[in-house]
Amino acid sequence: MVKATNINEVTRESWILSTFPEWGSYLNEEIADTEVKKGTFSMWWLGCTGIWLKTHENTNILCDLWCGTGKQSHGNGMMRKGHQMMRMSGVQKLQPNLRNKPFVIDPFAVKDVDALVVTHIHSDHLDINTAAAVNKNCPNAKFIGPQEVVNVWKKWGVPEEKTIIVKPGDTVTIGSVKIKAMEAFDRTALVTEDDPNVKLAGKMPQDMNKIAVNYLFETSGGNLYHAADSHYSNVFAKHGNENKIDVALGAYGENPRGITDKVTSVDMLRMAESLKTKVIIPVHYDIWTNFMADPKEITMLWKMKKDRLQYQFKPYIWQVGGKFTYPDDKDKMEFMFDRGFADAFSIENDTPFPSFL
């Protein structure tokens, strides 16, 4: 997109096209150019619980990339009838769930994706824009998710032959990655399912396994556990006993009054202990203004409790758009973007400094 050079050329549409996504294709290029070392895997945080996983063998897995937005207007000040948060809390007043982070990746510039993997039915994980881009740009990519996720994809026009339905216990091999579907513990997904018959009957959906799963991604460089939007469950201990888990992602956040939707700081530590993971990484707290939390609270609690833990691990504070490589980064505790200027003053500087400096 050529940017306008005269104010008379500027329109709302030209501004949008020249500005969004805010990072353009910068991260797309970084991911494509990254060569993952043998014995490692790399991943990038794309916002919410979205990640891009890349292996030494050049297998690329895209998971839960959401390219939508939250509130854009006050409207009449009320949530629509039947809105999931209304059903959870009984509150009708419009909730201020504004998108808090920029778009760090251009979905329509994605390429070389071997599989789009989605954890559950909620629209900040199951995204039509991502599905359209992957379907068009990556014709051989598989679309992997639980039954209701696949139903939505097919309704959107994703060819059925590209889809793979998974339930807990199923495994799918994509390139060099073995993807294992596992039980999810997402009460929010249960109480906010969009089946009108369930709503009218006032009943809970019959089968969590049709609407949500967690995943274990097994690579030659280590294993990644994606807990999606799961709340804390004792079954995490079962998953930790039955599987080797090196890195785990959990949906962390500050729950508003009357809502139990995100994992708290204490339960992030309990989750890590139960999974017997080496690294625990909070995600999702970044995306909604009304669920924002300070992940350093997790670090503070870990420092207080680390000598009393049954299994040793470290929390890692990530940044959206940042890269994490296991095991290279397993002993780090916080991500920092490249600040540049590492070679400052390596050539003659032409800035006119005063003589007294």
Tens-place pLDDT, residues 51-69 = 999 999 999 999 999 999 8
Q: Which two tokens stand for residue 191?
A: 């109480």
Q: Which residues does residue 247 pair with via DSSP β-bridges, in sequence order?
A: 224, 279
- DSSP state letter for 107: G
Query: Looking at residue 196, what is its pLDDT?
Result: 42
The pLDDT tens digits for 240-292 are: 999 999 999 999 999 988 888 899 999 999 999 999 999 999 999 999 888 89
CA angle 165, 169, 173 (to 5 degrees): 65
CB 21 within 8 A of CB 28: no
CB 247 within 8 A of CB 239: no
The Cα–Cα gap between 40 and 48 comes to 24
Sorting pLDDT into bands at 50, 70 and 90, what band is 354? low
With tokens 């396994």, the residue in question is 209
The pLDDT tens digits for 188-219 are: 887 765 544 444 344 545 689 999 999 999 99
82 vs 327, higher pLDDT: 327
Q: How far is CA 284 from its chain centroid?
A: 7
- Mean pLDDT (whole number) for 106-110: 96
- φ/ψ of 85, rounded to 5, equals -70, -30
Q: Is the link from the previous residue into 327 a cis peptide, with omega within 30 of 0?
A: yes
Give the chain's radius of gyration (CA, Å).
22
Q: How far is CA 325 from its chain centroid?
A: 16
* Domain ranges across the chain: 21-326
CB 185 within 8 A of CB 230: yes
Amino acid of residue 168: P
The pLDDT tens digits for 292-314 are: 999 999 999 999 999 999 999 99
- Mean pLDDT (whole number) for 35-52: 98
- Give domain 21-326's CATH superfamily: Ribonuclease Z/Hydroxyacylglutathione hydrolase-like (3.60.15.10)
Query: Looking at residue 344, what is its pLDDT?
Result: 77
